[in-house]
Chain A
Amino acid sequence: MKRLGPLAGWILPAAILVIWEFLSRIGFIPENVLPAPSAVAAAFWRVLVSGELAQNISVSFWRASMGFLIGGSIGFLFGLANGLSRFSETLTDTTLQMVRNVPHLALIPLVILWFGIDESAKLFLVALGVFFPIYINTLHGIRTVDPQLVEMGRTYGMNNWDLFRRVILPGALPSIFVGLRFGLGIMWLTLIVAETISASSGIGYMAMQAREFMMTDVVVLSIIIYALLGKLADAVARLLERYTLAWNPAFQSR
């Protein structure tokens, strides 16, 4: 077992795939319930060659990243403002906390009424979903920066900008990353729901179309692609985290 090293973790998934393929081949799993892995692979090849896949992925990716960018930066800015200024916090925090208690997906009917099934509807939902984890964690990060370090910075003559750049922001960064990763999770979740309910392009739309024609292989493929994109986003966030938090013993020696 030891000699297998990092490959050991892949034994089980590979075995499951093999068994799944086998059960499909002997007809134990009907094709309209769950297609065989080979059928999913074939579907992948089909939509890849037709260009449908690239088209839909790029649309979904664009929605996800734009929504994330909009919601994330607004959340980040509010987190900064409310973390740094009591005035700003008293003014806006109560309102934001109240809005937070509304599940953003519950707004879908209203959002469709407002925006139709337009791009802006999806961007709005993703941005709204991403806003809160980033806002809360940025605020929390700034609030929990070690006040002793801030005092040290002041006694060493740092002005507000230096203090922010060299003490407060780096101190808040671990917490901001927690918010970032939560936000990425919510981003995909929101997008899946929004694209499945109302869209004319994107991965979710591809899945819904395939469902109409009983093409279970494409449905399963869409689910796998969502999973992979989610994994990819998380990996990028981790990489960024490891790079910027190199000073933190929790991220060293790995």
Chain B
Amino acid sequence: MFADAMTFIETATRRPPRELTTGTAVPFEVLTEVAPTRGQGSALSIRGLVKTFDQEPVIKGLDLDIPAGQFVAVVGKSGCGKSTLLRLILGLETPTSGSIEGVGATGGTARFIFQEPRLLPWATVADNVAVGLGRSGSRTSRRKAALKALSEVGLDGRGDAWPAVLSGGQRQRVALARALVSHPRLLALDEPLGALDALTRISMQGLVERVWQDQGFTAILVTHDVSEAIALADRVLLIDNGRIALDLAVDLPRPRRRGTPAFAALEKTVLDTLFGFEGGEAI
């Protein structure tokens, strides 16, 4: 596990800094056929978004623009509506009012990674990954794509295993491969690493950063771990009371080292804003 983390740190340092340029839109079908190493993220534009559950407003008029390919982290107290926001963006919930433009409009796919891996226990690892391909492709091409996605998340040779025999971290890697196999233009992650132990978490964070750099999708990561948000994201959003309470750009060079003064300062800004709401109480 620790060796994993070290390998990631080494590979990540060798990578050139990521550029945030926007190219012309490529249709999703073309993307899957040529299977490029780097695709195109989708930009997102949210205006006046409101979501009400049983007369109880959860999102209260939210405006947000996310440029293509940006890595955004969303933090906030439990129950503040982070998951609801992701589900709205992915179209799993319908907005009470307001608009979300970008995901459907650009014609690309959006994928969701849940806190739990949610693998089908009765399907092999490769078949689970192939779920991400929908109904497209022949049997052999699906399997090929699945095995390739598996090797990208460091699970070479585990294609024929049952999910039951994998560790928690490995299962979440399979979930990541399943999300990535269709080369999505938007990847939403809802506390995907929350259930993992600390070391596995660090190596998974590295993996997420690496695939994001490789594939260039737009990433929205919900997390309760402020240092994880700052380590990975270009931008940290703090949600409170149904609105964006803090929109913080993170300009640190990648790969980021925790514990540097700049890192700590950003972490403090976020934590102070969080604590401020409760008058000093812990989240």
Q: Which residues of A contact B (CB under 8 A)?
A: 148-149, 151-158, 162, 166-167, 170-171, 173, 245-249, 252
Does B226 lie at the interface of the complex (its beta carbon under 8 Å from any beta carbon of A)?
no
Q: Are B135 and A166 within 8 A (Cβ)?
A: no
Q: Which of A151, A152, A155, A247 contacts B122 (CB 8 A)?
A: A247
Q: How far is the CA of A158 from the CA of B121 in the complex (A)?
A: 17
State the majority secondary structure of interface residues on B: loop
Q: Are A167 and B164 within 8 A (Cβ)?
A: no
Q: Are B123 and A166 within 8 A (Cβ)?
A: yes
Known: A156-B111, A166-B123, A173-B122. 8 other contacts (CB 8 A): A149-B118, A151-B118, A154-B92, A156-B131, A157-B134, A162-B135, A245-B122, A248-B164
Q: How far is the CA of A157 from the CA of B112 in the complex (A)?
A: 12
Does B162 lie at the interface of the complex (its beta carbon under 8 Å from any beta carbon of A)?
yes
Chain A min CB distance to B179 (Å): 9
Q: How far is the CA of A142 from the CA of B201 in the complex (A)?
A: 34
Q: What number of B residues sit within 8 Å (CB to CB) of A?
A: 20
Question: Which B residues touch A249, using CB under 8 A?
Answer: 164-165
Q: Are B120 and A148 within 8 A (Cβ)?
A: no
Chain B min CB distance to A135 (Å): 23
Question: Which B residues touch A248, using CB under 8 A?
Answer: 121-122, 164
Does B187 lie at the interface of the complex (its beta carbon under 8 Å from any beta carbon of A)?
no
In the complex, the chain A residue whose C-beta lies closest to that of B117 is A152
Q: Which residues of B contact A (CB under 8 A)?
A: 90, 92, 111-112, 114, 116, 118, 120-123, 131-132, 134-135, 162-165, 178
Q: Are A247 and B134 within 8 A (Cβ)?
A: no
Q: Are B118 and A152 within 8 A (Cβ)?
A: yes
Question: Which B residues touch A173, using CB under 8 A?
Answer: 122
Q: Are B90 and A170 within 8 A (Cβ)?
A: no
Q: Are A155 and B121 within 8 A (Cβ)?
A: no
Q: Are B123 and A148 within 8 A (Cβ)?
A: no
Q: Are B118 and A247 within 8 A (Cβ)?
A: no
Q: Are B121 and A247 within 8 A (Cβ)?
A: yes
Q: Are B118 and A148 within 8 A (Cβ)?
A: yes
Q: Are B90 and A155 within 8 A (Cβ)?
A: yes
Q: Are A152 and B114 within 8 A (Cβ)?
A: yes
Q: Are A170 and B116 within 8 A (Cβ)?
A: no
Chain B min CB distance to A166 (Å): 7
Q: How far is the CA of A199 from the CA of B231 in the complex (A)?
A: 79
Q: Are B123 and A247 within 8 A (Cβ)?
A: yes
Q: Are A155 and B120 within 8 A (Cβ)?
A: no
Q: Which of A157, A166, A252 contacts B120 (CB 8 A)?
A: A166
In the complex, the chain B residue whose C-beta lies closest to that of A171 is B122
A155-B112, A248-B164, A249-B164 in contact; A167/B120 too (CB < 8 A)? Answer: yes
Q: How far is the CA of A154 from the CA of B120 in the complex (A)?
A: 13
